[in-house]
């Protein structure tokens, strides 16, 4: 198995690595890029725990090969926070108790942000459907959806004022 040199951007900073062809993006992020906020859940792409944004689109990093991200941009939940300040969606999760154990929270946040960026007026059922690939074993989703709706509503209020 020959190794491959890759270069990518993780949360706005360049990362270079030499990877085996079968290394996952999840493993690359955790071992080479310091992305310990990206968690392994099922390892089969069904739980959403390892969700990251790849060029702005959500992907399961456990199913994405590291060699596939050469020259691309990856955003983890850490990348949502600008200069140490929580993103308003992260603040909404705190305010509305949208996480309990926190294991699913990064995937929920990234998926919700991606979806609302494309569907800013999504209703609760649309949001629930958008999150269908992200499993939470603690909250029952009610508080997660409450937090996402609060963020959506706050964004809409800001856009009406502008």
Q: Are residues 95 and 152 in the same domain?
A: yes
Helices 88-95 and 105-118 pack at an angle, to 10 degrees, of 120
Same domain, 104 and 126: yes
Name residue, tokens 């929270």. 105
Query: What digits encode the pLDDT tens for the residues 92-143?
Result: 999 999 988 889 999 999 999 999 999 999 999 999 999 999 999 888 899 9
pLDDT at position 52, please? Answer: 98
Domain residues for 140?
88-161
**Is pLDDT at 49 greater than 80 in this prediction?**
yes
Give the CATH number of the domain where residue 137 resides: 1.10.150.120
Number of domains in the chain: 2
Copy the structure tokens of residue 127: 């949001």
């Amino acid at each position: 198995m020959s190794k491959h040199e890759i270069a990518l951007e993780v949360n706005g900073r360049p990362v270079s690595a030499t990877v085996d062809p079968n290394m996952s993006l999840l493993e690359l992020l955790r071992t080479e890029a310091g992305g310990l906020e990206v968690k392994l859940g099922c390892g089969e792409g069904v739980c959403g725990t390892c969700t990251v944004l790849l060029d702005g689109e959500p992907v399961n990093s456990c199913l994405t090969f590291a060699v596939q991200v050469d020259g691309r941009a990856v955003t983890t939940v850490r990348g949502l926070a600008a200069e140490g300040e929580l993103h308003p969606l992260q603040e909404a999760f705190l305010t509305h108790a949208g996480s309990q154990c926190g294991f699913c929270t990064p995937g929920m946040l990234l998926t919700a942000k991606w979806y609302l960026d494309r569907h800013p007026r999504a209703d609760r059922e649309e949001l629930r459907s958008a999150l269908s690939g992200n499993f939470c074993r603690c909250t029952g989703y009610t508080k997660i959806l409450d937090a996402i709706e609060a963020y959506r509503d706050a964004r809409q209020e800001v856009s009406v004022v502008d």
